[in-house]
Amino acid sequence: MLSLLIGATVSASTLVLMAFMAGFGTGAYYWGKFANAFRKTGRLLSFLLLGIGILSLLNYFMIISFLPGLYDAFSNTGLSFSISDGVVFSLALLLLFIPAFLMGGVIPVVSKIIIQTNDHFSSDLGRIYAIETLGSTLGGLTAGFILLGNIGQRYTVFLAVIINILLAVLILLNKKFAVSPHPMKSDEQAVTEKPVILKNHRKASLAATFMSGLFILGMQVVWIRIFKIYLTNTSYTFALITSLVIFGLFVGSWIYKKHGDRYKNHLKLLFSALIIMGIFAFIGMIILVRLPELLMFPLGSLNEIPIIRLVVMPAIASLLIVIPPSIVSGFTFPLACRIYSEDTRNVSKNVGFVLMFNTLGAVLGPLLAAFLLIPSLGVVKSILIFVAMLFIVTIYISRMNPSKSEKRKRLGLGIGIVILVSVIIFMSEIRVLPPSFKKLDRDILFYNETVEGTLVVAQEKTPGAFVRVSYVNNSAVIGSTYDAVKAVKMIGHIPFFAGLECEKALIVGFGMGVTTSAIAQHPEVQEIDCVEMVPGLKEAAHFYSELNNDVIDDPRVHIMSGDGRHFLQKTSKKYDLISCDPTHPVLGSGNLYTKDYFDLCKQHLNDGGMVSQYLPLHKLRLEDFLGIIKTFHAVFPNATVWLGQYHAILLGSDRPIKINFKKWQEEVDQMPRENFFYFDPFHFAVCVMMDDKTIQKFPDNIEINTDDLSYTEFFSMDCFDENNLTQNLAFMAENRCNIHNVFYHIDDLQLMDRYLAGNEYLVESLYYYLKGDMKQSLIELRRAVEVNPEDEEYPFLIRFNFNVQD
């Protein structure tokens, strides 16, 4: 919900994480101290749960209603984006901070209720933290994999609120909790440690828990950034990884619960745990760098199974890389609490104080990772920095126990730190590349790591071929195939051919600038704003000058970093054209295919303006494909759908899309010729496949896609069925609209009929080509040439796809 409000960027999500952890830690300290002097602890716990539920419910309505309205109010006052963003960000983070403040009190208060004697002090601490982290794991998995995709955001929040309120009432009514607990017993174990030693041990425990929180949360940011380079980027993948980090904490605390009472030298154990955590992280880094060769490639064809690729692969990777250091971190927290608390006196205050230090580290870790280490050093060296920091704190802790064995360990750690720092300083850039780069021999032309993503531009080394590829993380920025380039250019050109009068255009997702260059070819355009999530793409665009005509040098083009949807929320500007060519909706841009987003676009259109948007045919079930079209049509009743080879283009306006073919022909004919892109007015005209009348006939079970219940964000695994593309293509072919519903003043009807017949054969050819029937595909394409010899594209496709000279 907050990503829809303040942007789906790593920077924004890091700030959200920091605000939550800050509230959690502050609450742990305050309520732990408060509970220490409050006799009716059960009532306090009930109050905390009730407050969490009520405040979360209020937050829901504030986030969906009040805060978005602030952007509208600010945009009309002329305030700068930085001020409006600052106010809305601050309020959003405050809203998150307050219930987190109450959540932070739960563990300290429960500690006072559970721990009454020293008999099982250590195991009780481990048990409390284990159950809390187990609940967090189940909550994350249940929300990410079940609730959000089936009942939506609203009812997921309502369900969580109901659970909190019911639990609060049950605790309040339970007689066991109604009675004030007996005073803590402190006479069962005499405190024999000297005050100075106890003070030093407490300092060590606080330093350890602070560093543990900093290390795990900072590493989580780095891990997810690297996983995005290797794995398929979906909401499911990263809900799983985040939950497994917490699951590791559960396992570690459960181990401490089982064995904590046996340990005597707690400080030595803490020292050893931090060393093991660092070693696990270092080994995990080595595995990460070699992950494709070690894990992905050996699985071979199993990677093609969606459940393997989207769930099993991240789970195995997490088991090898993420969970081991998380287990140790889960072990160290109750251990640190035990060291800080010499007995059960003031247990809630002590646990709250230790938890506060842990969460202070958890605030600083993501801050360092996202805003300092990754941008300046890259992801791999960021891991080395975190390991070095952990070892430095470990040396500090070992000084509290000055034995000979500890001195030897300190020496070893010191040598390790020197080696790590030397690697960071003297080793050149350590690159993490998408898996395909491990298999194919490519020259790396450009490599740039930012907090939002890793950008790679490479060229194939195939003799006689000029194939250039570009990736942001594991997603291709621009397809190198003819069909991909054709579709991207059509997104930019079709609105102008259709009669759009455009002075100002907005591009959501600059990419490599191909759509922008198509729009820039129309001289009437005076201003082109482009919003791009990954800023490095601007610098990489010159590698595609043959496709984008060096559009980055065009003075009309203004490229801004950020989330395009968020930009629309906070700007008051209106445009004649809003064009969007995002990544695939199930691979990270699902929020650009909802009714809420299309409504936002409509609000920023001038009268008579248009929206053009890429719509893939692959990785979408037929009901999802039609659902996106129906969603677009719900906002733009005059919608049309166009086909560019294997890709579709949505075109919408607040006015009927009725195109004067004579003017269309004049617009197309004045375009300069390009290699492998054919400016043919008849060819483009017959690419229209659906109009508003066709869309209105969609089956009743086709659902509107919304932010609240998004089937592009929380999709069915059936989306990855290879037959989806041909199924969607066949539906468009079978339900093709009457071209005369869209075009009028067609002088040469016979020629248009020939182009239409040729296009029908082309679609048939594409269908068989995708099915793997090359023979029938070639037959259909030759039929297209026979009925429509005027279209230059068909002979080209015969040469290009089949290496046949006709």
Question: What are residue 480's phi and psi, to 5 degrees?
Answer: -90, -5
Q: For residue 181, what pLDDT is reported?
A: 52
- 514, 544 contact by CB (below 8 A): yes
User: CB of 385 within 8 A of CB of 391?
Assistant: no
Binned at pLDDT 50, 70 and 90, residue 191 comes out as very low
- Say if residues 471 and 494 touch (Cβ distance below 8 Å): no
What integer pLDDT is reported at residue 451 of this predicted model?
85
pLDDT exceeds cutoff 60 at 188:
no
pLDDT over 90 (residue 643): yes
- At 546, the pLDDT band (50, 70, 90 cuts) reads confident
189-199 mean pLDDT? 57
The predicted-structure confidence for 474-491, as pLDDT tens digits, reads as follows 887 776 678 888 999 999
Q: Is residue 432 predicted with pLDDT exceeding 50?
A: yes
Average pLDDT, whole number, for the chain? 90
Span 123-137, pLDDT tens digits: 999 999 999 999 999
Please report which helix (H) or strand (E) contains residue 216, including its range: helix 195-230
For 71-114, how does the pLDDT look when each residue is reduced to its tens digit (9 = 90+)? 888 877 777 788 888 899 999 999 999 999 999 999 999 999 88
| Stretch 403-425: mean pLDDT | 83
DSSP 549: T
- pLDDT bin (cut points 50, 70, 90) of residue 464 is low
Question: DSSP per residue over 331-366, as a string?
Answer: HHHHHHHHHH-SSSTTHHHHHHHHHHHHHHHHHHHH
Q: What size, in residues, is the chain?
A: 806
Helix axes 347-368, 10-37, angle to 10 degrees: 170
Q: Where does residue 129 rank: exposed (0-12), middle (13-18), buried (19+ CB within 10 A)?
A: buried
The percentage of the chain sitting over the pLDDT mark of 90, rounded to a whole number, equals 64
As to burial, measured by CB atoms within 10 angstroms (0-12 exposed, 13-18 middle, 19+ buried), residue 287 is: middle
Please report which helix (H) or strand (E) contains residue 614, including its range: strand 605-616
Phi (first) and psi of residue 697, to 5 degrees: -90, 5
**Confidence bin at 194 (pLDDT 50/70/90):** low
Average pLDDT over residues 748-771: 95
Q: According to the model, what pLDDT value does residue 594 have? A: 97
CB 756 within 8 A of CB 702: no
Nearby residues of 584 by Cβ (< 8 Å), 6 or more positions away: 475, 616, 618, 619
Within 10 Å of residue 365's Cβ, how many Cβ atoms? 30
Instruction: Give me the pLDDT at residue 463, please.
Output: 60
Helix residue ranges per DSSP H, 636-711: 661-669, 681-685, 692-696
pLDDT tens column, 344-372: 778 899 999 999 999 999 999 999 999 99
* Rounded distance between C-alpha atoms, residue 127 and residue 516, angstroms: 57
- What is the crossing angle of helices 106-114 and 41-61, to 10°? 160
Nearest to 349 by CA among 117, 38, 22: 38
Predicted local distance difference test score (pLDDT) of residue 405: 65
Give which of 778, 703, 35 is closest to 353, Cα–Cα: 35
Q: What are phi and psi of 469, to 5 degrees?
A: -125, 150
Rounded to 10 degrees, the C-alpha dihedral 167/171/174/179 comes to: 180
Q: Report pTM.
A: 0.91
Instruction: Count the Cβ atoms, other than its own, within 10 Å of residue 465.
Output: 8
Contact at 8 Å (CB) between 739 and 686? yes
Q: What is the model's pLDDT at position 480?
A: 62
Q: Is 50 exceeded by the pLDDT of residue 324?
A: yes
656-672 tens-digit pLDDT: 999 999 999 999 999 98
- The tens digit of pLDDT for each residue in 138-180 reads 999 999 999 999 999 999 999 999 999 999 999 998 877 655 5
**CB-CB neighbours of 69 under 10 Å:** 9
Q: Does residue 186 have a pLDDT over 70?
A: no
Q: What is the pLDDT of residue 187?
A: 40
As a three-state string, the secondary structure of 32-86 is HHHHHHCCCHHHHHHHHHHHHHHHHHHHHHHHHHHHHHHHHHHHCCCCCHHHHHH
Helix (H, G, I), strand (E, B) or coil at 518: helix
Burial class (CB in 10 A: 0-12, 13-18, 19+), 554: middle
pLDDT for 655 = 92
For residue 806, the model assigns a pLDDT of 65
